[in-house]
Structure 1
Amino acid sequence: MKRILITRPMPARVAEAARAHFDVEMRDDNTPLKPGQMRGALALYDGILPTLGDMFSADVFTEAEGSRCRILANFGVGYNHIDADAARSVGIAVTNTPGAVTDATADIAMTLILMSARRAGEGERLVRAGKWPGWNPTQMLGLHVTGKTVGIIGMGRIGQAIARRCHFGFGMEVVYYNRSDKQMEFEARQLPRIEDVAAEADIVVIALPGGAETKHIINAEVLAAMKPTGHLVNIARGDVVDEAALIAALKDGRIAGAGLDVYEREPEVPDALKAMENVTLLPHLGTAALDVREAMGLMAVDNLRAFFDGETPPNQVN
């Protein structure tokens, strides 16, 4: 029976499914693996089920040629914490869990759109602090979302799910930036540059994959193109946004607000963001629903099972 390391505690259903097929060791620690632990795991296990924060950089693979580990079955759709090219160079497959996360992540995007536009976080803090004086006609006036324009940066599965919710649920006009053309079942205009989307949209939502190609792609120039009444929402990866540039834009009032589920140096969140009332901060809740996390884990286990059965894993990325 193949020996598998699961790097974080998993829902019981996932652990049970893994143990039905493999000799499983599951850490009871929710902290990411350290580089030495990762190198040791490559030597000790046939496969590893890692997740966000387990930084399998190129350095980790430098002496992994011929190692016991043959597959990293990532728990999550984003795998920018794994150098997939370096893994492939030493004969290690990498898989992910797309599909399972799409709707849950799109739902969190809608949560952040509404919370940021309608100042929900600020209002909740006001009530909890006992400082709410009662209703009045000009109290906490925010942005009415229905009928506005949403700009989606990255029109993959998640971007399309967000656009669908905005269009059909809130009657929003959809503009988007994507490297390739997309066929949509509703009207959505593709624009040639991210700055063009930023300039036209009332709410800009980032749904790009992480990685070197997209790091800081939302920079000072993109933020400067946004409307002063605009809101930025990020449910992708933290380093897609230049956090320092975002803080500056918010401080200077060049954009109206932001809703963030991810951060550049997660779990570190800059004090400047925490101090701003017009910023909604969530603790990476994108897929935080039991049935979704179960589906992700079962998909990762299925990738492992297929690989060791001599099949091509259904979600191999390298």
Structure 2
Amino acid sequence: MNVLVPQPIHADGIQVLKDHGLQVIELENDSREEIDKYMETATAILVRTTTLAAEQLERGKELKVIARHGIGLDLIDTKYCEQNGITVCNTPIANVNSVAEHVTGFLLSIAHRIPEAERALRRGNYESRNVLIGKEVKGKTLGLVGFGNIAQSVAKKCALGLDMNVIAYDPYAKEFPEYVEQVKELETIAKQSEFVSVHVPLNDGTKNLIDYHFFQSMQPASYLINAARGGIVNEEALIEAIDTDQIAGAALDCYAEEPMPLDYPLKDYENVILTPHMAAHTEDSMRAMAVGAAEAIVQTIK
């Protein structure tokens, strides 16, 4: 039984597959052409950020399971898989702490203007210390759009660790801890939060969820954080909001187009932090995602 691994994963995940007698095929790249070479004999695919569309999956006559190295399933045609008896699974908690720490790091960095100060100092501007005046997050309000596992971890770190007020909007969440205030309207998050962090999956219902109206409702001194999926935020609306001082800035780990285009408009903005979709990329998280996805494959086909 062959397991395709289109992109590099932690060696411990590969070892789990081999320990159970599975033939692991690590591809040179995750191009459509490379995957098509092996799709017909694949029993399983352990996928990171490779797109798997229906026209590709149709070639997988022996395909039984696709295991996602991470959480989101938006790059996999899950409807086709459901109709054709292909199990799709993910690792829903493996990268929770890593992403939550990244979001918390974003929050502190933009509040204290750390990246701006670091760049200014490298340019020789020591006197930037008298201009780049940040603000403490203690007592400030963090608004969470979505309240899944990662948002819950962010809430705990920020409410209990940083003494912030935390509010959250999620019509599907059933329980909220005592240190998180549930709000009933998305607009309430925009109006009441000094920091807004996005934590919903990308689907037809959430595409461009953070739009012109949302930004117009935000406070002028507030910041947007997105380490979920790029398409959730309308990037044209975000650029306009920053250009017109509707908000103070942003911190982004994901983008509507990935890899980020070389001419991405926000690259030169001092009040915007950009990272290359790496919030889950810690040694701990990468191992947990690889092992978790490999174990899911073993449980499904053995």
Give the structure-1-normalised TM-score: 0.89
C-alpha deviation, 1:213, in angstroms: 2.2
Contact kept in structure 2, 1:149 and 1:202, CA below 8 Å: yes
C-alpha deviation, 1:50, in angstroms: 1.1
Contact kept in structure 2, 1:75 and 1:97, CA below 8 Å: yes
Amino acid at match of 1:282: T
Contact kept in structure 1, 2:224 and 2:250, CA below 8 Å: yes
Paired position in structure 1 for 2:27:
27
SS in structure 1 of the partner of residue 25 of structure 2: strand
Instruction: Please list every run of 5 or more consecutive structure 2 residues that lacks an aligned counterpart in the other structure.
Output: none
Paired position in structure 1 for 2:165:
173
SS in structure 2 of the partner of residue 267 of structure 1: coil
Contact kept in structure 2, 1:238 and 1:263, CA below 8 Å: yes
2:249 is aligned, of 252, 257, 269, to 257
Percent of aligned positions that are identical: 30
CA distance in 1, matches of 2:246, 2:274: 19
Q: In the alignment, does 2:60 pair up with 1:58?
A: no
Aligned length: 300
Paired position in structure 2 for 1:274:
267
CA distance in 2, matches of 1:235, 1:174: 18
Paired position in structure 1 for 2:13:
14
CA distance in 2, matches of 1:134, 1:177: 37
Contact kept in structure 1, 2:146 and 2:198, CA below 8 Å: yes
Q: In the alignment, does 2:298 pair up with 1:298?
A: no
Contact kept in structure 2, 1:117 and 1:257, CA below 8 Å: no
C-alpha deviation, 1:144, in angstroms: 2.0
Q: In the alignment, does 2:100 pair up with 1:106?
A: yes
Q: How does 1:198-213 map to 2 (within 5 A)?
A: 198-213=190-205
Alignment CA distance shift 1:134-1:83 (3 Å): closer
CA distance in 1, matches of 2:158, 2:28: 39
CA distance in 1, matches of 2:228, 2:65: 25
C-alpha deviation, 1:241, in angstroms: 0.6
CA distance in 2, matches of 1:109, 1:155: 14
SS in structure 2 of the partner of residue 147 of structure 1: coil
Contact kept in structure 2, 1:218 and 1:240, CA below 8 Å: yes
Paired position in structure 2 for 1:220:
212
Structure 1 stretch 283-292 or stretch 257-266: which is displaced more?
283-292
Paired position in structure 2 for 1:48:
45
CA distance in 2, matches of 1:16, 1:212: 37
C-alpha deviation, 1:72, in angstroms: 0.7
Q: How does 1:9-158 map to 2 (within 5 A)?
A: 9-21=8-20, 22-29=22-29, 32-34=30-32, 36-52=33-49, 54-61=50-57, 63-64=58-59, 67-133=61-127, 135-136=129-130, 139-158=131-150
Greater length-normalized contact order (CA 8 Å, ≥ 6 residues apart): 2
1:247 is aligned, of 239, 254, 258, to 239
Instruction: Please list every run of 5 or more consecutive structure 1 residues that lacks an aligned counterpart in the other structure.
Output: 310-318
How far does the alpha carbon of each residue in 1:24-83 deviate from its partner, in whole angstroms, 9 at most, with x for none? 111243xx432x44455431211111111x11123434x45x711111111111111112
Paired position in structure 1 for 2:229:
237
Alignment CA distance shift 1:288-1:119 (3 Å): same
Alpha-carbon RMSD across the aligned residues, in angstroms, is: 1.7
2:280 is aligned, of 284, 287, 294, to 287
